């Protein structure tokens, strides 16, 4: 069985849901790198009125972001505060792509991600895992789905959490994040040359997980 799995793709493609299942089946640690960038965004908003580059850099320079994988999912702490729920708010989502575009933020997060991966078998999801963070991963998957389907999934997820979201607005926000994430200068969202492309638009979670398990065997 292969033991270092990189899963990349745009927002709402199902990466974290599937990565969690695959990690559990393989007995690997699941690392949600998007949660780390969200942690930096959360701290920026907590410290500053506006998310300027200076505010983001101030937030990241001494940040202590930690992920812990438990039965109930990934828990995230920033400087000792549990921010697991707070990093999923629309306010954080709105600025996170800008936060993740800054070189100083990426350098710090990538270093942490590589340190975590060095500790053992991992399934890591994000935007630049196959192209940058874990270039030697045993299996690389690029998950995608139509923007309509991704917006619909986010809509269901946010509604279930009690947020009054609008489907059309979500679609625009996802499209705008995709654009920012794939057009940024440093490590943009891109399918690695050796990654397997999986379009999940018409697939169930179980079908996607099963396909990735096949690739790992």
C-beta closer to ligand DC: residue 1 or 114? 114
Is residue 181 close enough to count as binding ligand DC by CB under 6 A?
yes
Is residue 126 close enough to count as binding ligand DC by CB under 6 A?
yes
Is residue 42 close enough to count as binding ligand DC by CB under 6 A?
no
CB-CB contact of 136 with 89 (8 Å)? no
Is residue 97 close enough to count as binding ligand DC by CB under 6 A?
yes
From 189, 210, 212, 66, select the one nearest 128 (Cα to Cα): 189
Is residue 28 close enough to count as binding ligand DC by CB under 6 A?
no
C-beta closer to ligand DC: residue 1 or 190? 190
Beta strands 73-78 and 65-70, pairing class: antiparallel
Angle between helix axes 103-118 and 90-100 (nearest 10 degrees) is 90
Is residue 40 close enough to count as binding ligand DC by CB under 6 A?
no
Q: C-beta of 174: minimal distance to ligand DC in Å?
A: 9
Q: C-beta of 124: minimal distance to ligand DC in Å?
A: 8
CB-CB contact of 140 with 130 (8 Å)? yes
Q: Where are the alpha helices (DSSP H) in 119-146?
A: none
Q: C-beta of 37: minimal distance to ligand DC in Å?
A: 4
Is residue 127 close enough to count as binding ligand DC by CB under 6 A?
yes
Which of 19, 20, 31, 33 is the binder for ligand DC (CB under 6 A)? 33
The CB density around residue 118, as the number of other CB atoms within 10 Å, is 8
Q: What are phi and psi of 24, to 5 degrees?
A: -65, -45
CB-CB contact of 50 with 27 (8 Å)? no
From 127, 84, 74, select the one nearest 105 (Cα to Cα): 127
Q: C-beta of 74: minimal distance to ligand DC in Å?
A: 10
C-beta closer to ligand DC: residue 160 or 214? 160
Q: Which residues bind ligand DC (CB under 6 A)?
A: 11, 33-34, 37-38, 96-97, 100, 126-129, 177, 181
């Amino acid at each position: 069985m292969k033991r270092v799995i990189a899963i990349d793709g745009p927002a709402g493609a199902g990466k974290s849901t599937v990565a969690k299942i695959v990690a559990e089946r393989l007995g690997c640690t699941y690392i949600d790198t998007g949660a780390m960038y969200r942690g930096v965004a959360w701290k920026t908003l907590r410290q500053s009125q506006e998310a300027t580059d200076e505010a983001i850099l101030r937030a990241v320079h001494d940040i202590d972001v930690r992920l812990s994988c438990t039965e109930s999912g990934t828990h995230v702490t920033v400087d000792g505060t549990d921010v697991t729920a707070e990093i999923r708010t629309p306010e954080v989502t709105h600025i996170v792509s800008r936060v993740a575009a800054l070189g100083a933020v990426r350098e710090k997060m990538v270093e942490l991600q590589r340190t975590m991966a060095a500790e053992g078998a991992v399934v890591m999801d994000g935007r630049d895992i196959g192209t940058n963070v874990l270039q030697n991963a045993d299996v690389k998957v690029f998950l995608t789905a139509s923007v309509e389907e991704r917006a619909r999934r986010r809509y269901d997820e946010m509604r279930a959490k009690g947020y009054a979201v609008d489907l059309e607005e979500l679609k625009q926000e996802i499209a705008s994040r995709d654009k920012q994430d794939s057009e940024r200068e440093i490590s943009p969202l891109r399918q690695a040359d050796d990654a397997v492309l999986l379009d999940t638009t018409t697939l169930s979670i179980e079908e996607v997980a099963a396909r990735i398990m096949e690739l790992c065997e």
